[in-house]
């Protein structure tokens, strides 16, 4: 418990499982839903003075929360921080805005360039942190600027300073994206709607829908031993489709998607990840790197350790 009195809107002991798309994990020691940058900075400042870690939860679509929960302040943006506005050809989204909602808005506002966001079930802030891309659409190509909050205040930065690489940025857990300005182009609303529908259909064909998952579990390897295969193809070739641990299983439709079949725990998810990664290692001698981010302290099952220096840990959420 922090000795310094928390700001009013901070509550103690809040469950996080239902804030993630895979629906596993424990509670946050402290939790807040700031509605403005001012409120957020005050909460970040309190957390810093109290020596608490920060964990930002977007749509939780790439997030695995420890079964023991998160010791620190978990933050989910709300109010002004989920607003969508049009300023000429700029689409300005709060950091907590759902990307599919922003992409859908672009059709009615006659702006093109963000259609690929329809298939990324995360927030604008989470997409920046993860450098999310889909179907050839690259987030970095359409970002004009990003507003970042820390315990010191808020500043605006250009995309070049965000250190984007494959599914990564240089943002740390204490840097919160409060707003993203996308530079789009004028477009015909009907054409944009058609493009959105086309993209939804592609996704429906390729991926399972209606399941509790965090999307891609492992990053696609940049390794000659993969011989150009994606993680999904490697997992498939290693016989991982349908691989199960407790209530977690690798999807029959897309082997790189973990599915919570009902009452899975995060430990079940980690167990199936470890078993799948081992199978790929045994068949191809390559180590898959997790894409999913982790919030809280997790313990990997013993077989996560492949006895090679290449073993990679997931990022912290």
Ligand X SMILES: Cc1cc2nc3c(=O)[nH]c(=O)nc-3n(C[C@H](O)[C@H](O)[C@H](O)COP(=O)(O)OP(=O)(O)OC[C@H]3O[C@@H](n4cnc5c(N)ncnc54)[C@H](O)[C@@H]3O)c2cc1C
Instruction: Provide the token pair at 63.
Output: 């997030």
Residue 259 CB, shortest distance to ligand X, in Å, is 10
Residue 232 CB, shortest distance to ligand X, in Å, is 12
62 versus 231: smaller Cβ distance to ligand X: 62
How many Cβ atoms are within 10 Å of 26's Cβ, its own excluded?
A: 20
Q: How far apart are CA 209 and CA 231, in angstroms?
A: 19
Q: 30 and 52 in contact (C-beta within 8 Å)? A: yes
Instruction: Provide the token pair at 194.
Output: 């058609």
102 versus 271: smaller Cβ distance to ligand X: 102
Residue 170 CB, shortest distance to ligand X, in Å, is 12
Q: How far apart are CA 56 and CA 71, in angstroms?
A: 13
Q: Say if residue 280 is exposed, middle or buried (CB neighbours under 10 Å; 0-12, 13-18, 19+).
A: buried
Q: Could you tell me which of 214, 177, 184 has the C-alpha nearest to residue 82?
A: 177
Residue 265 CB, shortest distance to ligand X, in Å, is 18
Active site residue: 98, 147, 167, 195, which one? 167
Q: 211 and 251 in contact (C-beta within 8 Å)? A: yes
Helix (H), strand (E) at residue 30: strand 27-32
Residue 33 is among the residues annotated as catalytic for this protein: no
Residue 165 is among the residues annotated as catalytic for this protein: no
266 versus 281: smaller Cβ distance to ligand X: 266
Q: How far apart are CA 123 and CA 195, in angstroms?
A: 21
Residue 278 CB, shortest distance to ligand X, in Å, is 24
Question: Coil, strand, or helix at residue 52?
Answer: coil
Q: How far apart are CA 124 and CA 10, in angstroms?
A: 23
89 versus 168: smaller Cβ distance to ligand X: 168
28 versus 281: smaller Cβ distance to ligand X: 28
Residue 173 CB, shortest distance to ligand X, in Å, is 6
6 versus 72: smaller Cβ distance to ligand X: 72
Bridging pattern class, strands 63-65 and 293-295? parallel
Residue 152 CB, shortest distance to ligand X, in Å, is 16
176 versus 278: smaller Cβ distance to ligand X: 176
Active site residue: 216, 231, 251, 265, which one? 216
Bridging pattern class, strands 11-15 and 27-32? antiparallel
Instruction: Provide the token pair at 179.
Output: 């707003």
Residue 216 is among the residues annotated as catalytic for this protein: yes
Q: How far apart are CA 97 and CA 114, in angstroms?
A: 14
Q: How many residues does the chain have?
A: 317
Q: How far apart are CA 79 and CA 10, in angstroms?
A: 15
Which residues here bind ligand X, judged by CB under 6 A? 21, 55-63, 77, 95, 119-123, 125-127, 129-130, 132-134, 171, 176-177, 213-215, 293, 317
Catalytic residues, which ones?
167, 216, 291
């Amino acid at each position: 418990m922090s000795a310094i009195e928390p700001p009013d809107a901070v509550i103690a002991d809040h469950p996080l499982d239902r804030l993630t798309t895979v629906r596993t994990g424990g509670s946050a020691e402290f939790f807040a839903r700031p509605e403005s940058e001012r409120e957020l900075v005050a909460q970040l400042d309190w957390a810093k003075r109290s020596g608490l870690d920060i964990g930002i939860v977007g749509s939780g679509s790439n997030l695995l929360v420890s079964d023991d929960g998160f010791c620190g302040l978990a933050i989910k943006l709300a109010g002004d921080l989920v607003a969508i506005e049009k300023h000429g050809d700029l689409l300005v989204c709060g950091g907590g805005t759902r990307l599919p909602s922003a992409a859908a808005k672009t059709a009615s506002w006659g702006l093109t360039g963000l259609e690929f966001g329809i298939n990324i079930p995360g927030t604008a802030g989470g997409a920046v942190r993860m450098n999310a891309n889909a179907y050839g659409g690259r987030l970095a190509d359409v970002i004009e600027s990003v507003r970042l909050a820390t315990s010191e205040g808020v500043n605006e930065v250009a995309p070049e300073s965000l250190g984007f690489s494959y599914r990564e940025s240089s943002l740390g857990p204490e840097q919160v994206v409060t707003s993203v300005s996308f530079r789009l182009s004028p477009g015909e609303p009907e054409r944009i709607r058609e493009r959105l529908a086309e993209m939804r259909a592609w996704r429906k064909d390729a991926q399972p829908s209606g399941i509790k998952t965090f999307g891609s579990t492992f990053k696609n390897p940049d390794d000659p031993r993969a011989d150009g295969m994606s993680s999904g193809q490697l997992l498939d070739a290693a016989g991982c489709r349908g691989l199960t641990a407790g209530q977690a299983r690798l999807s029959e439709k897309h082997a790189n998607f973990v599915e919570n079949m009902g009452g899975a725990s995060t430990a079940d998810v980690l167990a199936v990840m470890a078993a799948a990664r081992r199978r790929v290692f045994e068949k191809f001698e390559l180590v898959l790197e997790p894409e999913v981010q982790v919030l809280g302290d997790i313990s990997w099952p013993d077989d996560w350790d492949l006895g090679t220096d290449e073993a990679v840990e997931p990022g912290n959420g």
